[in-house]
Chain A
Amino acid sequence: MTPLLQVRNIEKRYGARIGCADVSFDLYPGEVLGIVGESGSGKSTLLNCLAGHLAPDQGEVIFDTRADGPRDVRQMPEAERRMLSRTDWAFVHQNPRDGLRMRVSAGGNVGERLMAVGARHYGDIRQTAGDWLTKVEIDTARMDDRPSAFSGGMQQRLQIARNLVTGPRLVFMDEPTGGLDVSVQARLLDLLRGLVRRMGLSAIIVTHDLAVVRLLADRLMVMKSGHVVETGLTDQVLDDPQHAYTQLLVSSVLQV
């Protein structure tokens, strides 16, 4: 099987400081990769390099495109890359305000990606948007309300619907449950896991919450000071950590 994403030697520097360096991995269809590490470990830099929001100084990000097979995303013309990021890719921001249009209704937020790829039938767009709101457990009666009138958890679910409506194959998530209270987090995790399985999505999730990756990720990458210090099966890395930093990270979690 061809990996959906092949990452080779990604490096990003901020002047003399290393954002991330020497990162390589393969992501297969249907696989969920968790990236953990403390603030400043380079995990968000890496995610943004992969998703095309930052230009890495070095390395390759090879995506298995529908039309032409594996291609280095960095070599693609910008038009193609942007098309990719609103069709086959999705990006869920930690703060829903970064991923939503706050002055556009919930339905319009979900419909935008459809219209961006050429949907021109209002009734159909509305129908699809309604279906997705239901999938993320938002009452369709709220469809014409703006996200500014939604709770944090609803906003995050709306962001997910908006991202998944075009049936992407790869989802980038940056602390998707950060800033939500625990019961809302649980609901979101359940939702994400169901969607990932039903749609056969591949996902890369950046988080510092080890409980989140234990439930969502198949594999784990632990980052420290811009480098990957340990990788492996999620439960193996968490239960039998090999690197000093991972041991510290795992032992620092408060037991409830």
Chain B
Amino acid sequence: MITVTDLGKSFTLHNQSSAVIPVLEGANFSVAAGECVALTGESGAGKSTVMRILYGNYLAQAGRVVVNGLDITTATPREILTLRREVLGYVSQFLCVVPRVPTLEVVAEPLLSLGVAEDAARARAVDLLTRLRIPERLWQLSPTTFSGGEQQRVNIARGFAHRYPVLLLDEPTASLDAQNRETVLTLIEEAKAGGAAIVGIFHDLEARDRVADRAIDVSVFTPRKIA
């Protein structure tokens, strides 16, 4: 589902005497359907950068990143948006939503934008919110007012609402209590069993060992010049 070939990434800081900071070089890996791969490496090694490039959030300077047949390094914004809507899900660490939108709608939205009927989308949202133990009295409130842990769970519910064939998870179990952590891991296992290709960053080693089939050490891709 994901094939990365000779991926290179650097940041050019035009406003700081055009400093060029290379971050990745010659990255090669692939992820198959039904497989969960954990990105590892020290802090600053480029795990998040890889995730963001896979999502089309960062531009790659070199190489190819093919997700579900689409090379996102050359794809048009429209193609990437379609890919994100239908194929590529991303659970980030931060919730970014329009203020004032009720939680239930935030979670159902990925389904609604796919054209799923309102009832079915809501039912799925209710199911996920219930499993993630968001109290029902909060469903009609905007998650922007929630605690960090609650926001994180809403974010996860939203990320799992549609059964994406490709899922990117950025520390999905961070700041969760044991029960909710268990639920999230179960969700990941279900997605895997459903054939999803999953790439994750897990600082929670136990969680990584439980759901990941293998690990990719990102520090291998760190350009040698600065390594």
Contact = CB atoms under 8 A, between A and B. Distances in A.
A219 B13 CA distance: 23
B107 to A, nearest CB: 15
A240 B58 contact: yes
A214 interface: yes
B170 to A, nearest CB: 13
Contact of A28 (B12, B52, B78): B78
- Interface of B, secondary structure class, is loop
A197 B85 CA distance: 14
A203 to B, nearest CB: 15
Contacts of A104: none
B15 A248 contact: yes
A193 B77 contact: no
Interface string B29-43: 000000000000000
Nearest to A252: B15
Given A240-B52, A242-B12, A197 B112 contact: yes
Contacts of B112: 197
A224 B100 CA distance: 33
A247 interface: yes
Given A28-B78, A219-B77, A247-B15, A242 B59 contact: yes
Given A28-B78, A243-B14, A244-B14, A187 B57 contact: no
A239 B98 CA distance: 18
Interface of A is mostly: helix
Given A186-B98, A235-B57, A251 B15 contact: yes
Interface residues on B, range: 20 to 34
Contacts of B77: 218-219, 231-233, 236
Contacts of B113: 197
A31 B113 CA distance: 12
Interface string A244-256: 1001100100000
A201 B78 CA distance: 15
Nearest to A31: B78
B101 interface: yes
A197 B114 CA distance: 11
B100 A236 contact: no
A189 B99 contact: yes
B75 to A, nearest CB: 10
A197 B52 CA distance: 26
Given A239-B52, A240-B57, A247-B14, A218 B98 contact: no
A83 interface: no
Nearest to A245: B14
A52 B11 CA distance: 40
B15 to A, nearest CB: 6
Given A186-B99, A239-B58, A244-B14, 12 more contacts: A28-B78, A190-B99, A197-B113, A215-B96, A233-B81, A236-B56, A236-B59, A239-B57, A240-B11, A243-B14, A247-B13, A248-B15
